[in-house]
Structure 1
Amino acid sequence: MKLHVNGTTLFFDVVGSGLDAPQQFTQRPTMILLHGGPGFDHHYLRPWLDPVSEVAQLVYVDERGCGRSERHTHEYYQLGIMADDIVALCEALHIEHPIVLGQSFGGFVALSIAHRHPDFASGIVLFDTSPAWTGGYDLDALEQMVGGDYGKELREIAYRESTGQATDEELQRFEREIMPLYWHQGYKPEYLDALYNTVPMNMDIATYMMGTLSKEYDLRPYLSTIKTPALILQGRYDWVTPMEGAVTMARELPNAQLHVFENSGHMVFIEEPDELVSVLKHWIVSQSEAEQD
């Protein structure tokens, strides 16, 4: 489905009912799910997170410039605008006080929503993400994992990507080469097909926003002002958005819980899906019960 809001057209898909079992007809919470990238679309999350629809209505959104949503020129690719898009979409759909889940880059958007619109969300889920991107990738960790001249070559491309200097060809190669390293264990080549082969990645927004984020995205000074209940989900071996950022958010956000997945890297939803779904469902139900008290 598509809807025009805030100067753009967003694609979204809904999984699950907004009402509980017919005998009760109580309203379930709604969760907005924001994908990573930037430049991917939402579908890579679907097989793993759809089971959460047992306790909440799920609304997957392709962020502006991504997936099936409308493309724009660079000046309209800003985190603040993307955060406002989600608020406008929910207003148009008459969704009040949703939970907002953001995975990786989507977490940047989710945290920006909580900062810019403090009364909007009933909760945020910050999922393999970070409160800042001013340093880009952990280049030392990348070079050490790969090793040799090839590690040095990938380090240089990673630096160029994180500063917005990489060409589309370099970025495509880098994403293909580096993605297996996002897993701590259990990587399979078909997982990359799920990322790249359904809706082409928008390399333009990826290159541009990675460059601007490396200069501008840092919400650490504002974490203590964000009162929205937060669940932080972190893979122990995630070098893309490392543990340090999750610990900072858990410490500085006034109402936060941290859950660490001990056998995961940056792809918790694939590496430990059962534990992830269980943790999410328990937290959603707990939040819903707390609101009703």
Structure 2
Amino acid sequence: MVKHSPVTGRYVTIDVDGMEYKVFYLQNGTGTPLVCQHTAGCHNHQWRGLLEDEEITRHHNVIAYDLPRHGKSDPPHNVEWWKQEYRLTADHYVNFIVTLCDALDLRDPIFMGSSFGGNVALQLALRRPNRFKAVIPVEAAANSPGFYLDWWRHPHANAAQVCASGVWDLMAPQSPDMDRWLTWFYYTQGSEAFKGDLYFYSVDHDLRDELKNIDGRRCPVVMMTGTYDYLTTPEESEATARQIPGGVYIEMEDIGHFPMSENYPVFRIYLKEALRIIRERTSK
């Protein structure tokens, strides 16, 4: 029996800070746009469960894109990108997301990102609160130092294996073996971009002195972190949310650093609660 997924994929070409990007994204659903950013060194397949969730896509237009240099999105086409080291900055990251939302003509989207995608969600709430209905930072914190390391691309190491193996213990043991191995597999494919992503994650992202300037009433911020995440601990995420006026924190039990791909059935329980909170706060 042939079963076709309702998820469709398309490319859109955008210009960000003088860089021309051909960006691939997956889409399914109708209603409020829900824009999803994958974790560092990975791609939009992490959101496969959400993209095919009939209950959520009934009310949300779910869009999961590949950041340039990840998945099916190439490096910039108009520059000799191979002649310089890739280092993702907060400025460029924010500009990319806003430009993509503009290009897709998304009105009042909710932005959700995980890990370094969760950290940029905080950046968006600070810098562009009027562009987003709300943000959902997953596995995020105000600051994540210590992970921008040369050995992610050391010539004596198998970079793909090093990057992938680094994610294994960050997943909860309760998560299904199939989904844990798929998450591992995704990471074997993204080693080239991983270190550059971590420049944003561990060097350029630091909002410790800026959290008080994020208005969680103007742009609701609902943070979610798994109990098995020792990279960005629940304590760090909760402390971040507490310093944001109007910020909300949800702790996700029995799940780790890659909740949307390692155990989507558990993740969706908490996501539905986050979306409920956002509806309540934005319907007034």
> Structure 2: which amino acid aligns with 1:64?
P
Residue 45 of structure 1, aligned match among 24, 44, 47? 47
Paired amino acid for 1:47: G
Letter in 2 for 1:229: P
Q: Look up the match of 1:243.
A: 234
Aligned residue in 1 for 2:13:
4
8 Å CA contact retained: 2:46, 2:260 = no
2:192 corresponds in structure 1 to 204
Change (3 A) 1:211 1:57: closer
Residues 1:31 and 2:26 are matched in the alignment: no
For residue 260 of structure 1, give the secondary structure of its aligned residue in structure 2: strand
Q: Is contact 1:31-1:99 (8 Å) kept? A: yes
From 114, 130, 146, give the equivalent of 1:135: 146
Q: 155, 168, 174: which one pairs with 2:162?
A: 174
1:280 pairs, out of 247, 251, 271, with: 271
Q: Give SS of 1:241's match.
A: coil
* Structure 2 unaligned residues grouped into runs of 5+: 1-9
Is residue 216 of structure 1 aligned with residue 204 of structure 2? yes
- DSSP-derived class of the 1:220 partner: coil
The answer to which of 247-256 and 171-180 deviates more is 171-180
How many angstroms does 1:105 deviate by? 1.6
CA distance in 2, matches of 1:40, 1:216: 19
The 5-angstrom pairing of residues 69-148 of structure 1 reads 69-72=73-76, 73=81, 74=85, 77-136=88-147
**Residues 50, 232 of structure 1: alpha-carbon distance in 2 compared, 3 angstrom cutoff:** farther
TM-score (norm 2): 0.80
Where does residue 4 of structure 2 map in the other structure? none
- The whole-number CA distance in structure 1 between the counterparts of 2:101 and 2:240 is 26
Matched, 1:59 2:63: yes
- Maintained 8 Å contact 2:126/2:214: yes
User: Structure 1 residues 280 and 54 mapped into 2: Cα distance closer, same or farther (>3 Å)?
Assistant: farther
After superposition, what is the alpha-carbon deviation per residue over 1:40-78, rounded to whole angstroms, capped at 9, x for unaligned? 111022125642323311111111221111214345732
Output the amino acid matched with 1:45: W
Cα distance change of structure 1 residues 224 and 195 upon mapping to structure 2, 3 Å threshold:
same
Name the CA shift for 1:199/1:59 in 2 (closer, same or farther; >3 Å). Answer: same
Q: Which residue of 1 aligns with 2:5?
A: none
1:31–1:101 CA contact under 8 A, matched in 2? yes
Q: TM-score, normalised by structure 1?
A: 0.77
Quote the residue 1:158 is aligned against: none
Greater displacement, 97-106 / 68-77? 68-77
Amino acid at match of 1:217: H
Please give the per-residue CA displacement for 1:223-247, whole angstroms capped at 9, x wherever unaligned.
1111121111111121021123212
Cα deviation, 1:1-57, whole Å, max 9, x if unaligned, reads: 11112232211111112xxxxxxxxxx2111000002x2111022125642323311
Contact 2:136 2:221 in 1 (8 A): yes
Which residue, 214, 227, 231 being the options, matches 2:222? 231
Equivalent AA in structure 2 for residue 2 of structure 1 = Y
The percent identity for this pair of structures is 20
2:150 is paired with a residue of what secondary structure? coil
TM-align CA RMSD:
2.5
1:268 lines up with 2:254 in the alignment: no
Distance 1:210 1:171, change over 3 A: farther
Q: Could you say what secondary structure the match of 1:232 adopts?
A: strand
The 4+ residue runs of structure 1 with deviation greater than 6 A are none
Question: Whole-Å Cα distance in 1 between the matches of residues 86 and 263 of structure 2?
Answer: 38
Distance 2:262 2:251 in 1: 13
> Size of the alignment, in residue pairs?
257
Counterpart of 1:108 in 2: which secondary structure? helix
Cα separation, partners in 2 of 1:218 and 1:198, compared to 1, 3 Å: closer
Amino acid at match of 1:163: L
| Unaligned ranges ≥5, structure 1 | 18-27, 137-161
